[in-house]
């Protein structure tokens, strides 16, 4: 048996053995896709197992993340130290380096968390965008320090998901010639043959997207797979998809080509039969010595490749020292400027909508943070996210920092994940807040991976007005606040908006959702950097130790409680006004600080927010009142809607009195 076939069968059997031992998993993809994955890794993928973070490595994404044992087998064979044979034996077990789906940051060599189908191919589009943008920035004659490909393996399920179509359409429009997708076309999904739900001609669809489409009719033919990848790499102007006809569960006589191979162990008897069919005569979990020797030779070549790049980069630093210094900042977590001490960043002079103040901040940041890149789902004029004098990224101009994602919210968020994961960029994306529903899957993955993506979400309440209930977010604040690692920041004025942006760009925890108004808001004297604590006293009571009532709100409703406090004062009711722009950040503060803002002994509390009341109960307690939305909104002028739904000073005053009377 030649080394190629031996290595391919090693991947197949090790994968099947690990899944059988775990008594769960997906053997079909690893066994069917092993030849194309091995061909890519052994003959094309530029990587270094000794340094998985090398900036100029090729990126590999297993979009069909359920086939994770394919990736773990590759990582083990090619020498990534995290994935030992003991870890493979521990597949899918708590605490192992080989969880059920690949997890970024958990296992060395994994570029992104995949599993929800379609997300990985979108991440790959983002990585390819980042490669192209950074190459334009840093490459110089004789110094292609950014020059690599992004590869993804996707299956039928990935290409059924609409989000992959959104991202692929954009990739074709942008002419991402260094993006290559290997399509595991085996015509099988969980429920059976794909004919039951997926009869389209994928190749013609991708041609329509503007991709180069290549075909390999025999997925076991290494030479033809190799030739197809070479042909894909040769086209610098179009992304490529290689349609590889594979047989799911290849090598297992009873299950190959059947849906039964997809998502369950082969079974001991079928595993034994697969070993016989593949002429495999080794002890369980054995890597043949010939494969080990091949892998050691591969590692030496891989290290030499990076060493060659490192020597080039040393010369680059001498010839282009300023660019080299920028490189160091771009590829670190550092900010190029201390925003906390930058007075201009925090300076505002008049009331305005927080979407407008955010737009001003974005343009201030554009001058201070050179690797800031982002855009909107065809809403930049409304979201106020266009960066002046920074150009538009396109197939014709790779230098632009303004991304145009089109009306593709879900793909936009998933692509942003890939752009950040590539390294070198600080990324933001934007849409109307209500359409965060479309982005939820990708936003959740941002949070799982703890990626500091900035989500600019405007038109944040019934203040949207005439567009009506379809465009008026009600439940979205509660939904985003419920996501672990997600920080939601709903500022009450321009100063708090600056704090929100500072917090987002400084985050080490994960993504931040900036929830912003369409309507004009006041500019408060006491807001400023205090908002960085998530909740603070905007206007204190006369009795600082024991106010009669605490009024709290976020965003536009802070104006209501601010004015309600003045009315209550006329009736000798001593009210404290608390702005709570971020639950998550407030909860991170010390118990002493939180008690200083919301003293436990003060049970008279009213919370106001033009959204679902869900979440506020922990701050108002059993005795408090919440003025919130208990239904969807309606179409009408914003001022009319606020009145109709109870968001008036009079109603807040009424609720405060009611709380006091009931104590």
Asked whether the beta carbons of 172 and 209 are under 8 A apart, the reply is yes
DSSP character at residue 399: T
- Are 120 and 60 a contacting pair, CB within 8 Å? no
Q: Which helix (H) or strand (E) holds 79?
A: none
The number of CA neighbours under 13 Å toward the Cβ of 526 is 11
Contact 63, 119 (CB under 8 A): yes
Residue 398, token pair as written in the block: 């790779």
Residue that has been written with the tokens 């990985």 in this structure: 120
What is the pairing mode between strands 179-185 and 150-155?
parallel
Residue 5 burial by Cβ neighbours in a 10 Å radius (0-12, 13-18, 19+): middle
Q: Do 578 and 599 form a contact (C-beta atoms < 8 A)? A: no
CA distance readout (Å), 445 to 99, 104, 124, 161, 508: 16, 10, 14, 16, 15
Asked whether the beta carbons of 446 and 150 are under 8 A apart, the reply is no
439 to each of 133, 392, 443, 446, 638, how far by Cα in Å?
Answer: 24, 23, 6, 11, 26
Q: Is 191 a catalytic residue?
A: no
Q: Which residues of 417-426 are buried (b: 16+ CB within 10 A; e: fewer)?
A: bbbbbbbbbb
Looking at residue 462, the DSSP 8-state letter turns out to be G
Structure tokens at 552: 């709290």
What is the widest separation between alpha-carbon atoms in the chain?
Answer: 92
DSSP character string of 502-525: HHHHH-SS--EEEE--SS-B---T
Which tokens go with 146?
């950014």
In angstroms, rounded to a whole number, what is the distance separating the alpha carbons of residues 144 and 134? 11
- The rounded distance, in Å, linking the Cα atoms of 20 and 359 is 54
Q: Go through 516-534 and write b for each residue having 16 or more CB atoms within 10 A of its CB, e for each that does not.
A: bbbbebbbbeebbebbbbb
Token readout for 545 is 């130790």
Residue 338 main-chain phi, psi, to 5 deg: -90, 95
* Cα-based distances in Å from 17 to 292, 425, 498: 18, 40, 54
Q: Residue 318, exposed/middle/buried by CB under 10 A (0-12, 13-18, 19+)?
A: exposed
The Cα 408–Cα 118 span in angstroms is 14
Q: Exactly one of 409, 557, 559, 609 is catalytic; name it.
A: 409
Annotated catalytic sites, by residue? 409
């Amino acid at each position: 048996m030649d080394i190629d076939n031996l290595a391919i069968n090693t991947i197949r059997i090790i994968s099947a053995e690990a899944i059988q031992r775990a008594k769960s998993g997906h053997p079909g993809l690893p066994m069917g896709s092993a030849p194309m994955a091995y061909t890519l890794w052994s003959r094309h993928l530029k990587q270094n197992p000794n340094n998985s973070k090398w900036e100029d490595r090729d990126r590999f994404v297993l979009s069909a993340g359920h086939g994770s044992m394919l990736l773990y087998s590759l990582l083990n064979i090619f020498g990534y130290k995290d994935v030992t044979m003991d870890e493979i034996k521990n597949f899918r077990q708590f605490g192992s380096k080989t969880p059920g789906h690949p997890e970024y940051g958990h296992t060395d060599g994994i570029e992104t968390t995949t599993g929800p189908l379609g997300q990985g191919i979108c991440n790959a589009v983002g990585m390819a965008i980042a490669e192209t943008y950074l190459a334009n920035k840093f490459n110089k004659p004789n110094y292609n320090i950014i020059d690599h490909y992004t590869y993804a393996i996707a299956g039928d399920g990935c290409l059924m998901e609409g989000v992959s179509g959104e991202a692929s359409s954009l990739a074709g429009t942008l002419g991402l010639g260094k993006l290559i997708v290997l399509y595991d076309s085996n015509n099988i999904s969980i429920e059976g043959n794909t004919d039951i739900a997926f009869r389209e001609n994928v190749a013609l669809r991708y041609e329509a997207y503007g991709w180069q489409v290549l075909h390999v009719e025999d997925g076991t033919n290494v030479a033809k797979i190799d030739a197809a990848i070479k042909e894909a790499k040769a086209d610098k102007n179009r992304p490529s998809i290689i349609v590889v006809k594979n047989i799911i569960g290849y090598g297992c006589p009873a299950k190959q080509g059947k849906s039964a191979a997809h998502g369950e162990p082969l079974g001991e008897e079928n595993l034994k039969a697969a070993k016989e069919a593949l002429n495999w005569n080794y002890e369980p979990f054995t890597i043949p010595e010939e494969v080990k020797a091949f892998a050691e030779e591969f590692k030496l070549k891989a290290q030499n490749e990076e060493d060659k790049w490192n020597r080039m980069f040393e010369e680059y630093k001498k010839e282009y020292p300023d660019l080299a210094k920028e490189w160091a900042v771009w590829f670190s977590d550092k900010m190029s400027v201390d925003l906390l001490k930058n007075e201009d960043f925090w300076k505002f002079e008049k009331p305005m909508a927080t979407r407008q103040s955010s737009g001003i901040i974005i343009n201030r940041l554009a001058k201070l943070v050179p690797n800031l890149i982002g855009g909107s789902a065809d809403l930049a004029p409304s979201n106020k996210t266009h960066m002046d004098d920074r150009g538009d990224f396109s197939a014709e101009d790779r230098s632009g920092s303004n991304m145009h994602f089109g009306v593709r919210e879900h793909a936009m968020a998933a692509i942003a994940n890939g752009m950040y994961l590539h390294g070198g960029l600080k990324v933001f994306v934007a849409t109307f807040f209500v359409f965060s529903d479309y982005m939820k899957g990708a936003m959740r993955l941002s949070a799982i991976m703890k990626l500091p993506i900035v989500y600019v979400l405007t038109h944040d309440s019934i203040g949207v007005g005439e567009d009506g209930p379809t465009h008026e977010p009600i439940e979205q604040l509660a939904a985003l606040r419920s996501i672990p690692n997600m920080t939601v920041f709903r500022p009450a004025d321009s100063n708090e908006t600056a704090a929100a942006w500072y917090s987002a760009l400084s985050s080490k925890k994960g993504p931040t959702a900036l929830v912003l108004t369409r309507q004009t808001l006041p500019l408060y004297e006491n807001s400023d950097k205090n908002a960085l604590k998530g909740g603070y006293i905007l206007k204190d009571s006369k009795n600082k130790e024991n106010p009669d009532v605490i009024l709290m709100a976020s965003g536009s409703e802070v104006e209501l409680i601010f004015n309600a406090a003045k009315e209550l004062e006329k009736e000798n009711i001593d009210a404290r006004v608390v702005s709570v722009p971020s639950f998550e950040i407030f909860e991170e503060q010390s118990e002493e600080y939180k008690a200083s803002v919301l003293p436990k002994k003060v049970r008279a509390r009213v919370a106001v927010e033009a959204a679902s009341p869900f979440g506020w109960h922990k701050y108002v307690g059993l005795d408090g009142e919440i003025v919130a939305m208990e239904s969807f909104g309606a179409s009408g002028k914003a001022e009319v809607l606020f009145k109709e739904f109870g968001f008036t000073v009079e109603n807040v005053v009424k609720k405060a009195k009611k709380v006091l009377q009931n104590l």
